[in-house]
Amino acid sequence: MRKKIVAGNWKMNTTVSEAVELAKGLVASLNEVPEDVKLVVAPPFTNLVPVSDVISGTSIALSSQNCADQEKGAYTGEVSAKMVKSVGCSYVILGHSERREYYGETSEKLVKKIKLALGEGLSPIFCIGEKLQERQDNIHFDVIAAQIKEVLFELSAEEMAQVVVAYEPVWAIGTGVTATSEQAQEIHAYVRGILAEKFGELAQEISILYGGSCKPSNAKELFACPDIDGGLIGGAALKASDFIAIAQSY
Ligand code: 13P
Query: How confident is the model at residue 127, as a pLDDT?
Result: 98
Is any atom of ligand 1 closer than 6 Å to the C-beta of 34?
A: no
Total domain count, the chain? 1
Grade residue 34 by pLDDT with cuts at 50, 70 and 90.
Answer: very high
Return d(Cα 162, Cα 158) in angstroms, integer: 7
Instruction: Determine if ligand 1 sits within 6 Å of the CB of residue 9.
Output: yes
Spatial distance between the Cα atoms of 168 and 91, rounded to a whole number of angstroms: 17
Residue 68 has pLDDT above 90, yes or no: yes
How close is the Cα of 206 to the center of ligand 1, in Å?
Answer: 21
What pLDDT shows up at residue 43?
98
pLDDT digits (tens, 9 = 90+) for 164-189: 999 999 999 999 889 999 999 999 99
At residue 250, does pLDDT exceed 90? no
Range of the domain at 148: 4-248
CATH of the domain at 93: 3.20.20.70
Q: How far is the CA of 91 from the centre of ligand 1 (A)?
A: 17
Per-residue model confidence as pLDDT tens digits over 1-19: 899 999 999 999 999 999 9
Q: How far apart are the CA of 94 and the centre of ligand 1, in A? A: 14
Q: Which of 41, 130, 173, 242 to mutate to test the pocket of ligand 1 (most atoms within 8 A of CB)?
A: 173
Is position 188 annotated as part of the catalytic site? no
**What is the Cα–Cα distance from 234 to 210, expressed in whole angstroms?**
11
Q: What is the DSSP string of 42-73?
A: E--GGGHHHHHHHHTTSS-EEEES---SSSSS
